[in-house]
Structure 1
């Protein structure tokens, strides 16, 4: 069964008609549907991530509904709003979703927008699953206790930062590294700290750490400094918007050393900005690879292409797994009660996701390896599991 999705302004409404939506500010649905909320960046700076995650959610729900829904035949209904890549709007969306009576929520894509919704859903006792908020501390409250209602299906920054350093030292035999940090981003600083610590623990030296700020477009100053250094690899813990331009400018200035990044590199926009001719010896940690021969991955990619007419990727897969983790918990708990769903997610031992089979640990993180993607001339030429060990 196909999901009906209508968009009015900033709001995406699933399972209702335009007419009924216009008659009332509150979404209505049949009593036999189970509402899953989506708080995603569908416009603004992080729209490339949020839009892809919503596609993953839509595919998951379409498949579940086509197979009879959940429990006693109830269909899943998506209630989705655009948080506009803005923390204030993310909190506002969370309040709307509570009012809608959702049993669980997926999103947002970024750590900052996720943090904005945490107190609202925590107070409402509604479980949240983040596809991609990788900040180390986001699953904890200010007292250091694990947040009962928050889970994620992505690995955290310390893990992928350390995995990147391990790969640089062990697989690339690097001994000297340069690090470029986005000082405006907790994401970037956290990754850099963990990369630096792990790299140095393996006998490596950070010969220079330089900084930039999100929104910068000219990186000639830090790259000129890099040209005066003796180094084997550059680590850029950043999003594709700046990373793509740094790669382009670095290669055009004659810097040929390998460049390593995090999951923020995982976007076609990176290649648009860098130019495929410059995307050589680029490596980044990721949650998923289209190159996997796992049957579940290939089935997902086939279904995704049939639905959207394009190839699925990391953020689609994470959005799909986030949705399926909630749906799996509904089935295992035998209930649509948010507390029962929360308890079932916390007890997850072996969830077979398309980004890997994993358990949920005591800190509400998935236990799974990361994938190191290698690009040559803009094409993925290898994808290997790596760890921080």
Structure 2
């Protein structure tokens, strides 16, 4: 899943290429197996990155307790990308060139994943992104082909946008919508486009599009325009901080229309910012629900609660899945050589994730189900599962 529009300058491109030329080899001879864990541990999306990093650390702890992999213990190398593309470049560069990791997992923000994956690709170090849903994370825009060394454990936004649009048409039964886009976010812009394409194709009408920027505080001017249009639905594919403020201000202005969003809503901060009552009559698409009763999910929830004293969210589950997906590939490769890990990842089929079986496509994206979550009286309520 995401954040801040990516503006890669010529200087950054030159830096990435230079890194590829001067970086050292991964440390395959170490008695420990070093794996980079690069997440948004500070900044506006820190709840996402912290939860996912905790999921990854739990996975590696469980694997180590069972003997590790290739006869080695996994040594997670933690790095903070601060929720910023430039910092993501720095963090991935560090774990590759200084810490000599054999592979990397991380990222819950698409713009950060796009930036970080560029460095991993140049250096030929496998990267498994946890929750970055923008197609550009795994796609080389110049060639139009999948990046060789970049994979992800989550679905992508063409699927998520279609799921949201179908839910709007078939379950909410709304025929007119306003789309409210975060213009500073690759995630928001991409997801809104896929929603619009599917919604209009199925008979819905987009009667207006409005835009805001991350870190905006006052949304009353935009909401006044929307109120005058009286839409049946407001589609808001943004991040929890702005989403909470927008919905709270909308309800204060008397806007009662349902809101619908994406996985970037899933943070405990959303309730703190938006309030339980204003968030009633809202829904969002997501990767996972703790109400899933499959054995893998239940075991994960119990282990996470025991380790951290709290219930996991979807980002924790995605961090956990991404870590296990990477280790599964290392085991099948029977090698810590990055090229062999890459080959094993590309061949992944029927991997058992927390929310069920998943496979990777030829573009290195995950085929997995989505869930619809309703917010009601301050609680997340599972509505339905949508299979790919």
Normalised by the size of structure 1, how large is the TM-score?
0.89
Please state if 1:87 is matched with 2:94.
no
Match of 2:298 in 1: 298
Match of 1:123 in 2: 122
Match of 1:277 in 2: 277
Would the aligned equivalents of 1:289 and 1:383 in 2 still touch at CA under 8 Å?
no
Describe the SS at the equivalent of 1:278.
Answer: coil
Match of 1:346 in 2: 346
Q: Within 5 A, what are the aligned runs for 1:182-197?
A: 182-197=182-197
Match of 2:161 in 1: 161
What CA deviation, in whole Å up to 9, does each residue of 1:99-143 have, x standing for no partner?
222111012221222222223222221100111111123212121
Match of 1:43 in 2: 42
Aligned residue pairs total 360
The structural deviation recorded for 1:30 is 9.6
> Following the alignment from structure 1 to structure 2, what is the Cα–Cα distance between the partners of residues 29 and 157?
35
What CA deviation, in whole Å up to 9, does each residue of 1:295-315 have, x standing for no partner?
111100000000001111111
Q: Within 5 A, what are the aligned runs for 1:347-386?
A: 347-386=347-386
Q: Within 5 A, what are the aligned runs for 1:144-159?
A: 144-159=144-159
> Following the alignment from structure 1 to structure 2, what is the Cα–Cα distance between the partners of residues 267 and 206?
28
Identify which range, 105-114 or 285-294, moves more after superposition. Answer: 105-114
Match of 1:14 in 2: none
- Residues 1:303 and 1:30: Cα distance change in structure 2 (over 3 Å): farther
The structural deviation recorded for 1:382 is 2.3
Match of 1:19 in 2: none
Would the aligned equivalents of 1:291 and 1:383 in 2 still touch at CA under 8 Å?
no
Describe the SS at the equivalent of 2:146.
Answer: coil
Please state if 1:329 is matched with 2:323.
no
Match of 2:24 in 1: none
Match of 1:264 in 2: 264
The structural deviation recorded for 1:384 is 1.2
The structural deviation recorded for 1:181 is 0.9
Structure 2, unpaired ranges of 5+: 1-26
Would the aligned equivalents of 1:184 and 1:214 in 2 still touch at CA under 8 Å?
yes
Match of 2:6 in 1: none
Match of 2:19 in 1: none
Describe the SS at the equivalent of 2:58.
Answer: helix
> Following the alignment from structure 1 to structure 2, what is the Cα–Cα distance between the partners of residues 233 and 116?
33
Identify which range, 244-253 or 259-268, moves more after superposition. Answer: 244-253
The structural deviation recorded for 1:200 is 0.7
Would the aligned equivalents of 2:129 and 2:322 in 1 still touch at CA under 8 Å?
yes
> Following the alignment from structure 2 to structure 1, what is the Cα–Cα distance between the partners of residues 103 and 340?
11
- Residues 1:30 and 1:378: Cα distance change in structure 2 (over 3 Å): farther
> Following the alignment from structure 1 to structure 2, what is the Cα–Cα distance between the partners of residues 244 and 345?
37
Would the aligned equivalents of 2:38 and 2:107 in 1 still touch at CA under 8 Å?
yes
Which gives a bigger RCO, structure 1 or 2 (Cα 8 Å, sep 6+)? Answer: 2
Match of 2:131 in 1: 132
What CA deviation, in whole Å up to 9, does each residue of 1:148-180 have, x standing for no partner?
100011111121112111100011111111111
Would the aligned equivalents of 2:35 and 2:77 in 1 still touch at CA under 8 Å?
yes
Match of 1:65 in 2: 64
Describe the SS at the equivalent of 2:315.
Answer: helix
The structural deviation recorded for 1:383 is 3.4
Describe the SS at the equivalent of 1:276.
Answer: coil
> Following the alignment from structure 1 to structure 2, what is the Cα–Cα distance between the partners of residues 387 and 307?
31
> Following the alignment from structure 2 to structure 1, what is the Cα–Cα distance between the partners of residues 351 and 154?
13
Would the aligned equivalents of 2:263 and 2:284 in 1 still touch at CA under 8 Å?
yes
Identify which range, 343-352 or 88-97, moves more after superposition. Answer: 88-97
Give RMSD over aligned pairs.
1.6
Normalised by the size of structure 2, how large is the TM-score?
0.89
Would the aligned equivalents of 1:318 and 1:355 in 2 still touch at CA under 8 Å?
no
The structural deviation recorded for 1:337 is 1.1
Would the aligned equivalents of 1:163 and 1:387 in 2 still touch at CA under 8 Å?
no
The structural deviation recorded for 1:68 is 1.1
Describe the SS at the equivalent of 2:119.
Answer: helix
- Residues 1:105 and 1:369: Cα distance change in structure 2 (over 3 Å): same
Would the aligned equivalents of 2:184 and 2:213 in 1 still touch at CA under 8 Å?
yes
The structural deviation recorded for 1:86 is 2.4
Match of 2:54 in 1: 55
Would the aligned equivalents of 1:108 and 1:130 in 2 still touch at CA under 8 Å?
yes
Match of 1:241 in 2: 241
Match of 2:11 in 1: none
Please state if 1:313 is matched with 2:313.
yes
> Following the alignment from structure 2 to structure 1, what is the Cα–Cα distance between the partners of residues 118 and 154?
21
Describe the SS at the equivalent of 1:164.
Answer: helix
